[in-house]
Structure 1
Amino acid sequence: MKKLLVTGSSGLIGSEVVEYFCHQHWQVFGIDNNMREDFFGSAGNTIWNQKRLCETYSNFTHYDLDIRDRANVLKCLESLKPDLIVHTAAQPSHDLAASRPFDDFDVNAVGTLNLLEATRKYASDSVFIHMSTNKVYGDKPNSIALKELETRWDYNDPIYENGINENFSIDQSKHSLFGASKVAADIMVQEYGRYFNLKTCCLRGGCLTGPNHSGVELHGFLSYLIKCNLEGKLYKIFGYKGKQVRDNIHSLDVTRFIEAFWVNPRCAEVYNLGGGRNNSCSILEAFDLISNISGKTMEYEYVDKNREGDHICYISDLTKMKTDYPNWNITKSLDNIFEEIYLSWQKRIG
């Protein structure tokens, strides 16, 4: 039986990966210490998801382990020697990173290094997939010429008709401290691939979403927005007239790409992972989409100041992904995503 190790296994992507590979009859091991609650308070708690996984899958084993704990990370990899490692654990908020810079860097950069070195020592034949972020590009995407439409910003340069590709520069831009820590991790994952010839991959995620997200104001755009609509809670728009655009990819489609890479791994690869143009929407457009589902008007206020380093318009160019893995595609539409998140929050809130 193949063995999979998932870090951040109680989070959005981690739990989706656990479920998917459990159904494929893998022996799955999860690392998670619910640090999301420490970062975001009770609303970020993921224990409910951990319990759900443990109760549902007999081939899943949970470890309460902090990836900053170098000695025990080394022991874990030495003991398990997994065939596949999917690293999703992270401090995910660029706002929070500014107030807790050491925690941010230690989790995102040092934690990733701990896992890579443990992999090199004890599981060098395994495939290592790292959930990176489009924030490695900093605010450089804001230098692209834009046009203002009625409900969104869009690129006004034909080069970016399909979105931003993997050759886009990460230099000479403001990243936020979160973006900087993720750059360090991203480059280290690539370097362990090139220098030690490990099968590594960085997935530079756009707006990763799905029904198992514990969305909060500082992280989890669609999940939090939909929760606010369901509860009649005031949602704050931070700058850009509410026309800022994100491309949204369902956690299942992320996991399907992880499987595709596992089947045909490469060395030190990088992919921009998002929903592409068809799954893109602005905040204003998202309001309309959820209101059409719930029948509730969105309550919101506008703050005329954008978040530091925030993208005005970000759409992932999926050309490289589809070229290297032609059997992979997007299976969950934007409408599917909204409906699933809405139903999930209905069930959780009661």
Structure 2
Amino acid sequence: MAIALVTGSAGLIGAEAVRFLAEKGLDVIGIDNDMRAYFFGGEASTGWSRSQLENTLGNRYRHVAADIRELAALEPVFEQHGDEIVLVLHTAAQPSHDWAAREPITDFTVNANGTLNLLELTRRHCPEAAFIFTSTNKVYGDTPNRLPLVELETRWEIDEGHAFHANGIDESMSIDGTLHSLFGASKVAADVLVQEYGRYFGLKTGVFRGGCLTGPGHSGAELHGFLAYLAKCALTGKAYTVFGYKGKQVRDNIHSHDLVNAFWHFFQAPRPGEVYNIGGGRHANCSMLEAIAMAEKITGKTFNWSYSEENRIGDHIWWVGDISRFRSHFPDWSLQYDMRGIMEQVIEGQQVRLADAQ
């Protein structure tokens, strides 16, 4: 029996991965204690997602409600199944740089210590397994804000003469000498640990530095889940606040299925210690203003939003990741969802959950 162990298994990427891997014939053990509800409140709980996985996958999925900060809670899973675990997919995290400032110790122990626990248990019990980590573009801190940016009507854009213009920001950008936010710092620690376990111990580790990860299964909240929360506000008329940069800040967006498919390609032919920027790239990106306009067009509703001139600390003005490196290593992988397709699916997912809540 081949087992994939997925942390954050009821979250957006985790749940997508659980279904994907089960369809590929793997049994899946999910580790998730719904800390998202603690971070962002009951509306962000992933309990509904856990129930859905258990109800639809049956004995192909086993859920473990463990805290990744607690080595003693994780070790029995690895001890019992180490010989069968072929993949450790680590998606669990505290994901908000705003929230991290409220409880820095919680943020760091979840993101950094939790990752170290999983790496060490993998090394001890299943060293031949692939280890995939969902990092973040926030490891680059606010260095992207130093790029030569041009203000256009609905967005900021990088100057056409810059090397990053054609494809976006690649992995050559330094992660040093920059304001990361505490969240960014904790993810840097985890990111470097994953690389080191690949390079020093030879584990089959891969680091994926994502932009905005999204999809219909996202439990969006104001502090995390850009498109999902925007879609929820578009459908309900709830007030939405845009923070800084005239609403023209740009993000690339990748559909959860496209990201998990990238993980699958890496799992098939892992390259130890590799780091990849991963996201929608030039194929799927938008500014806040463009996302609002798109949501209004799809829903047929006027969006209720306001503007605050104070931007979030360490927030990017323009992020479009260059995914050329991953494509060159795995040429059979490609993005299936463009920006419009992503937005339609996110809105549809929010419609379903709002209807279920009534």
Q: TM-score range by the shorter chain?
A: over 0.9
Measured against aligned partners, the alpha-carbon deviations of 1:5-32 in whole angstroms (never above 9, x if no partner) come to 0000000000000000111121111000
Contact 1:12/1:251 (8 A) holds in 2? yes
Task: Report the counterpart of residue 10 of structure 1 in structure 2.
Answer: 10
Measured against aligned partners, the alpha-carbon deviations of 1:144-170 in whole angstroms (never above 9, x if no partner) come to 000000000010142011100011100
Contact 1:11/1:46 (8 A) holds in 2? yes
Task: Report the counterpart of residue 206 of structure 2 in structure 1.
Answer: 201
Residues 115-134 of structure 1 mapped to structure 2, 5 A cutoff: 115-134=118-137
> Within 1, Cα distance between the matches of 2:16 and 2:283?
22
Task: Report the counterpart of residue 295 of structure 2 in structure 1.
Answer: 290
How many angstroms does 1:71 deviate by? 1.5
- Match for 1:308 among 304, 313, 319? 313
Task: Report the counterpart of residue 191 of structure 2 in structure 1.
Answer: 186
Task: Report the counterpart of residue 77 of structure 1 in structure 2.
Answer: 78
Moved over 3 A (4+): none
> Within 2, Cα distance between the matches of 1:301 and 1:74?
48
Residues 116-155 of structure 1 mapped to structure 2, 5 A cutoff: 116-155=119-158
State how many pairs are aligned.
Answer: 350
Look up the SS of the partner of 1:160 in the other structure: coil
Q: TM-score, normalised by structure 2?
A: 0.97
Contact 1:78/1:123 (8 A) holds in 2? no
Matched, 1:160 2:164: yes
Task: Report the counterpart of residue 62 of structure 2 in structure 1.
Answer: 61
Task: Report the counterpart of residue 21 of structure 1 in structure 2.
Answer: 21
How many angstroms does 1:76 deviate by? 1.5
> Within 2, Cα distance between the matches of 1:209 and 1:153?
21
Contact 1:134/1:206 (8 A) holds in 2? yes
Task: Report the counterpart of residue 255 of structure 2 in structure 1.
Answer: 250
Contact 1:191/1:268 (8 A) holds in 2? yes
The one-letter code of the counterpart of 1:330 is: L
> Within 1, Cα distance between the matches of 2:100 and 2:25?
38
How many angstroms does 1:297 deviate by? 1.1
Residues 22-61 of structure 1 mapped to structure 2, 5 A cutoff: 22-58=22-58, 59-61=60-62
The one-letter code of the counterpart of 2:197 is: Y
The one-letter code of the counterpart of 2:194 is: V
The one-letter code of the counterpart of 2:155 is: R
How many angstroms does 1:50 deviate by? 0.1
- Aligned CA RMSD, in angstroms, stands at 0.7
> Within 2, Cα distance between the matches of 1:345 and 1:293?
13
Gaps of 5+ in 1: none
The one-letter code of the counterpart of 1:280 is: N
> Within 1, Cα distance between the matches of 2:338 and 2:57?
28
Look up the SS of the partner of 1:83 in the other structure: strand
Q: After alignment, is 4-13 or 336-345 more displaced?
A: 336-345
- Match for 1:324 among 324, 329, 354? 329
How many angstroms does 1:122 deviate by? 0.4
> Within 2, Cα distance between the matches of 1:184 and 1:94?
15
The one-letter code of the counterpart of 1:67 is: I
The one-letter code of the counterpart of 1:314 is: W
Gaps of 5+ in 2: none
Look up the SS of the partner of 1:159 in the other structure: coil
How many angstroms does 1:74 deviate by? 2.0
> Within 2, Cα distance between the matches of 1:63 and 1:185?
22
Task: Report the counterpart of residue 98 of structure 2 in structure 1.
Answer: 95
> Within 2, Cα distance between the matches of 1:114 and 1:279?
34
> Within 2, Cα distance between the matches of 1:254 and 1:124?
24
The one-letter code of the counterpart of 2:162 is: P
